[in-house]
């Protein structure tokens, strides 16, 4: 019996090639989209779940009230690690981590490589195995170095490098004590080597005992059996009991929640990436559903063709059960073919998808679990899409179908119409959402940054740059590479520092107000093209007293409520600062948030970055060549590295851009699958009504009249879908926009565009068949009895 | 073999109720060859469908092989049908996607006959119907007469006790039609009961007895000699 089914299925597929193609392509595209999303979801969900001690690993967090709100953050004082290990018997292991970036020199090779400083326990806490070296001792000596495989190959050309030495920053020689297996694609850690904390202390002036400076990450492994709840009670006052800081509670954040549940509101976890995961899982489910709906629609639309077969089979003895099994088998077989095509699509599109999502996903062909999931997925798709057609087709009464009196139902409320409406509702929701995401992105990208981003480059201060700063600065200008140069504490696109220790006349003494801190030396406003609203730029050459000068931005002015800000005094922990200028607000951090109050300090503070405005008279390449010569001259050990402010600024939109691109992609695919289904339906509709069309034409109907008559029915469904889609899209996008302080208003034209696009696409899809039917010679169609 | 008593069947649309069978009673003995005749709409086909258990009556009794089947559910009817009754239709009703061999094999599949036995029986019956040389062809590749032979082969392959034929020569020319009638007569002579609906007095002459229907009732019975 099974062989017979297979045979007839196969012949049916071959006989109706266009039907088969539409079905398989639609289903395959749907399955491939869902699979890509599921790959992504699987990767997100598996983040840092592979550590053997994952049930006991935690990151230390703080909670405190600032400006009336409870904030939570994951950086800690440096001495916390040692205290946890010494004074808390529940703690088995602990380690700190903070970023490192050094110039590695090996023979003639010079490479700046990012890494992490950490404590010896790091290697035994996390399941990041060493392929060479002993994890228990690899980080014991100050100048030991653990490289990842990739970095070992980059430096030495192979991984057999235990005991070899490499020069760090032209100062120290390090010995390789371990080679780590490359980091998997699902961990929060991102480094190319590990260095010891002892070395951090050596280059940063010894052991930091300050409990007021939250600057490193602290990880702990609790002893087996210690619960999170219990330990939270124990550790709550650790910062209070070791320092003057009296308003900070300490708690732990489990490793299992790092990736997906790391958004805090009022000090409590309220979610995080899990929202996106859920959203895209829903999208995956819907795309698959839409593809299944196509199959159902096309199968039932073809029912008149299959009806005779059903009748005959029933007459010769088939029961309903065996017919259901037959049609289910058919849909599973189509799902299987579609699954194979989908697998090919996924394999081909993964590289592009990886670029889009910034991941390294791959198909685990060797994993039996993967194949088990594939088979389940195909069976599931086959059964879901086959269920309705199987029930529908198997219920035909043989008496009717064999007599030829059978006509498929064309009721006003048929399931097929509901299915089409469902498809288009979802497609339209996605289209509207895509437009709104893009609009929001545009809106934020076009926001005035307050300074000029173009032709503005920066280089981090490393090696001898600081020592030779004046020379570099002068030569950048005299060589013609740049028109203005300034030193700052951080790149223009990043806020690296903030502080709440300020006081001024008229300030509410109880308010804890946090300011962004930014340090500049001369020519700041000239380099950035930043407008000074009142007063002047900090300029120590002309005004020697500017060593204690500050500028504030408009947001600060509004907060401080000075009528004449210039010359006013601001106290910072006993130090007297004088306002010399007010600058126009500029965006330092999120382009979606209001500009935060800022205090800009002068030349006496610390600097990390040189910004230079490239000479507009030269090409960028010429400017960079000139600049490189200058930096090489005064900092010869280091490669010349630069960044463009406009490029860095654009990275702020990466998340939204990704969401926007993914939304457009899946909206496009959904509408494609839906239209494919519509096309198939229109084909069968045109065939079924061929006689009616013939009669109408004989009686004098025009081609246009017939076409619009045939298209009308489908457009009605699209219109109904639009009515359903509008509130859903409006509600969910309004919700999404709420996460942005600086956001667009949803305007009516968004819906108008979505309506127009969908209608246009459906008309094109349907009318192709409708016109073909309308143009057919009625003599032929009427003879076709 | 068949005994029906006061059988009634109505067809209802929104406005009208049509009586297809009106308190019809009749009986058919084992081994008989009965022709049912009458004008269009007299209820012939309805009767044949009920006899073939494709449809159920609204009122009355239908006893098949001493079993009352009038109120059997679909599954039970299908079960009884596939073991006892073969059908031959005016429009042949072969499955286009299956070959001659596979079409004939179909009833055996649904009654659970083993593969080897199926091959044997299908070949036997194709041989008998002189259609063996066409076993791998598809229905569209055959003439009308050949298609009806295949249909008859399919109807008899399960060795049914009863064959119901609905205008079996209706779509055939007279020569092919006569061949089909000869085949049915042969089958009848070998012991199969046959009930045939027909418009053709010529075909009806092959039967033992003609039942004439009008408006869902028996109006006359002719015994052929």
Determine the straight-line distance between the first and last CA of chain A, rounded to whole angstroms: 34
* A7 touches B: beta carbon within 8 Å: yes
Q: Is B97 on the interface with A (CB under 8 A)?
A: yes
Confidence of residue B75 (pLDDT cuts 50, 70, 90): confident
pLDDT score at A317: 82
pTM of the model: 0.80
CB contact under 8 A, A8 and B81: no
Cα radius of gyration rounded to whole Å, chain A: 34
Rg of chain B over all Cα atoms, to the nearest angstrom = 17
State the first-to-last Cα distance of chain B, in angstroms, to the nearest integer: 21
* A&B contacts, CB < 8 Å: 69
Substitution target from A2, A7, A304, A317 for chain B, most B beta carbons within 10 A: A317
- All residues of chain B having their beta carbon less than 8 Å from the beta carbon of residue A1 are 109-110
Contact: B87, A316; criterion CB under 8 Å: yes
For the record, the structure tokens of A248 come out as 């900070």
| Nearest CA-CA partner of A595 in A585, A604, A605 | A585
Say what the pLDDT of residue A98 is. Answer: 93
Residues of B in contact with A316 (CB under 8 A): 82, 87, 106-107, 110, 154
Candidate from B79, B82, B109 with C-beta closest to A1: B109
Q: Minimal CA–CA distance to A180: which of A126, A233, A141? A: A126
Does A317 lie at the interface with B, CB-CB under 8 angstroms? yes
Q: What is the SS3 string spanning chain B?
A: CEEEEEEEEEEECCCCEEEEEEEEEEEECCCCEEEEECCCCCCHHHHHHHHCCCCCCCEEEEEECCEECCCCCHHHHHHHHHHHEEEEECCCCCCCCCCHHHHHHHHHHHCCCCHHHHHHHHHHHHHHCCCHHHCCCCHHHCCHHHHHHHHHHHHHCCCCCEEEEECCCCCCCHHHHHHHHHHHHHHHHCCCEEEEECCCHHHHCCCCEEEEEECCEEEEEEECC
Report pLDDT for A412: 47
User: Which residue stretches of chain A have pLDDT < 70?
Assistant: 1, 304, 403-413, 780-785
Cα A10 from Cα A107, distance rounded (Å): 66
ipTM of the shown complex? 0.81
pLDDT of residue A1: 65
A153: its two tokens = 């190959």
Q: How many residues does chain B have?
A: 225
Q: Write out residues 8-37 of A within 8 Å (CB-CB) of B.
A: 8, 11-12, 15
- For residue B88 the two structure tokens come to 């031959």
The per-residue pLDDT for range B41-58, each reduced to its tens digit, is 888 888 988 998 888 889
Q: At what angle do helices A303-315 and A368-394 cross, to 10 degrees?
A: 80
**pLDDT at residue number A785:** 41
pLDDT at A404: 58
Q: Give the separation between CA A710 and CA A376, rounded to whole angstroms.
A: 40
DSSP states of A136-193 as a string? TTTT-STTEEEEEHHHHHHHHSSS--TT-EEEETTTEEEEEEEEEPPPPTT-S---SE
DSSP code, position A520:
B
What does the alpha-carbon distance between residue A692 and residue A681 come to, in Å, rounded to a whole number?
17
Contact B110 A322 (CB under 8 A): yes
Encode pLDDT of B83-101 as tens digits.
Answer: 899 999 888 888 887 899 9
């Amino acid at each position: 019996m099974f062989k017979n089914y297979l045979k007839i299925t196969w012949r049916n597929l071959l006989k109706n090639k266009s039907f088969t193609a539409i079905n398989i392509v639609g289903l395959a595209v749907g399955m491939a989209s869902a699979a890509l999303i599921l790959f992504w979801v699987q990767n997100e969900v598996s983040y840092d779940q592979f550590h053997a001690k994952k049930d006991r690993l935690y990151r230390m967090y703080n909670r405190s009230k600032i400006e009336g709100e409870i904030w939570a953050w994951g950086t800690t004082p440096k001495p916390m690690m040692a205290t946890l290990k010494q004074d808390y018997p529940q703690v088995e292991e602990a380690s700190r981590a903070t970023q490192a970036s050094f110039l590695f020199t090996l023979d003639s090779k010079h490479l700046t490589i990012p890494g992490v400083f950490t404590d010896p326990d790091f290697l035994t806490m996390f399941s990041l195995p060493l392929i060479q070296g002993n994890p228990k001792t690899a980080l014991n000596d100050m100048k030991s170095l653990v490289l990842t495989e990739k970095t070992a190959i980059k430096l030495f050309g192979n991984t057999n490098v235990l005991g070899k030495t490499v020069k760090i920053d032209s100062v120290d020689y390090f010995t390789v004590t371990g080679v780590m297996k490359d980091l998997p694609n699902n961990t929060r850690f991102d480094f190319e080597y590990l260095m010891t904390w002892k070395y951090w202390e050596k280059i940063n002036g010894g052991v930091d005992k300050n409990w007021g400076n939250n600057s490193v990450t602290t990880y702990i492994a609790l002893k087996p059996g210690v619960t999170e709840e219990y330990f939270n009670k124990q550790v709550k006052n650790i910062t209070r009991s070791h320092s003057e800081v009296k308003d900070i509670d300490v708690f732990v954040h489990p490793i299992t929640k790092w990736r997906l549940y790391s958004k805090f509101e009022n000090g409590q976890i309220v979610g995080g990436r899990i929202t996106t995961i859920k959203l895209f899982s829903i999208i995956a489910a819907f795309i698959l559903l839409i593809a299944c709906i196509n199959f159902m629609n096309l199968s039932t639309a073809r029912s008149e063709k299959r009806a005779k077969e059903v009748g005959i089979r029933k007459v010769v003895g088939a029961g309903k059960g065996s017919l259901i099994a037959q049609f289910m088998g058919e849909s599973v077989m189509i799902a299987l073919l579609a699954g194979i095509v989908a697998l090919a699509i996924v394999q081909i599109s993964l590289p592009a998808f990886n670029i889009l999502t910034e991941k390294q996903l791959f198909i685990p062909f060797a994993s039996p679990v993967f194949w088990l999931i594939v088979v389940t997925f195909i069976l599931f798709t086959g059964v879901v899409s086959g269920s309705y057609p199987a029930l529908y087709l198997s219920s035909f009464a043989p008496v009717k179908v064999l007599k030829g009196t059978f006509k498929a139902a064309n009721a006003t409320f048929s399931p097929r119409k509901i299915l089409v409406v469902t498809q288009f509702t979802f497609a339209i929701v996605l289209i509207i959402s895509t437009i709104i995401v893009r609009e929001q992105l545009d809106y934020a990208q076009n926001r005035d940054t307050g300074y000029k981003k173009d032709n503005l480059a920066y280089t981090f201060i490393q090696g001898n740059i600081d020592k030779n700063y004046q020379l570099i600065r002068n030569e950048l200008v005299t060589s013609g590479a740049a028109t203005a140069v300034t030193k700052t504490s951080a790149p223009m696109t990043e806020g690296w520092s903030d502080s709440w220790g300020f006081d001024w006349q008229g300030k509410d003494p109880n308010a804890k107000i946090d300011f962004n801190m930014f340090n500049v030396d001369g020519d700041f406003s000239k380099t950035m093209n930043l407008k000074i609203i009142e007063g002047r730029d900090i300029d120590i050459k002309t005004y020697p007293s500017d060593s204690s000068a500050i500028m504030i931005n408009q947001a600060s002015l509004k907060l401080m409520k000075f009528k004449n800000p210039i010359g006013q005094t601001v106290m910072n922990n006993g130090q007297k600062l004088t306002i010399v200028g007010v600058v126009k607000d500029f965006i330092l951090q999120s382009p979606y948030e209001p500009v935060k109050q800022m205090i800009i300090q002068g030349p006496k503070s610390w600097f990390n970055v040189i910004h230079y405005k490239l000479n507009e008279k030269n090409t960028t390449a010429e400017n960079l060549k000139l600049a490189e010569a200058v930096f090489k001259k005064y900092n010869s050990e280091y490669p010349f590295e630069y960044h463009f402010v406009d490029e860095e600024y654009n990275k702020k939109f990466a998340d939204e851009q990704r969401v926007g691109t993914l939304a457009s992609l899946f909206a496009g695919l959904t509408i494609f699958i839906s239209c494919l289904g519509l096309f198939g339906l229109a084909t069968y509709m045109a065939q079924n009504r061929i006689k009616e069309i013939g009669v109408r034409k004989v009686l004098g109907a025009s081609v246009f009249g017939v076409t619009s008559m045939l298209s009308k029915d489908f457009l009605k469904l699209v219109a109904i879908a639009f009515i359903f889609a509008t509130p859903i899209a409006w509600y969910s996008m309004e919700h999404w926009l709420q996460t942005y302080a600086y956001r667009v208003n949803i305007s009516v034209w968004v819906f108008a565009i979505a309506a127009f696009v969908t209608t246009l696409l459906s008309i094109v899809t349907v009318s192709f068949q409708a016109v073909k039917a309308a143009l057919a010679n009625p003599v032929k169609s009427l003879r076709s009895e | 073999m068949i005994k029906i008593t006061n059988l009634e069947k109505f067809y209802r649309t929104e406005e009208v109720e049509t009586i297809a069978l009106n308190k019809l009673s009749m009986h058919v003995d084992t081994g008989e060859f009965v022709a049912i005749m009458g004008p269009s709409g007299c209820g012939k086909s309805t009767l044949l469908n009920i006899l073939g258990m494709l449809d159920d009556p609204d009122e009355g009794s239908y006893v098949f092989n001493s079993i009352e089947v009038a109120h059997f559910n679909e599954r039970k009817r299908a079960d009884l049908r596939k073991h006892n009754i073969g059908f031959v239709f005016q429009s042949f009703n072969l499955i286009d996607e299956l070959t001659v061999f596979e079409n004939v094999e179909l009833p055996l599949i649904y009654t659970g006959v083993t593969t080897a036995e199926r091959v044997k029986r299908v070949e036997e019956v194709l041989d008998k119907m002189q259609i063996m040389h066409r076993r791998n062809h598809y229905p569209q590749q055959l003439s009308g007469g050949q298609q009806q032979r295949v249909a008859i082969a399919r109807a008899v392959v399960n060795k049914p006790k009863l064959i119901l034929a609905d205008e079996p020569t209706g779509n055939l020319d007279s020569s092919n039609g006569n061949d089909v009638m000869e085949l049915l007569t042969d089958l009848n002579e070998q012991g199969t009961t046959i009930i045939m609906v027909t418009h053709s007095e010529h075909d009806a002459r092959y039967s033992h007895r003609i039942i004439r229907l009008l408006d869902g009732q028996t109006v006359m019975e002719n015994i052929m000699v």
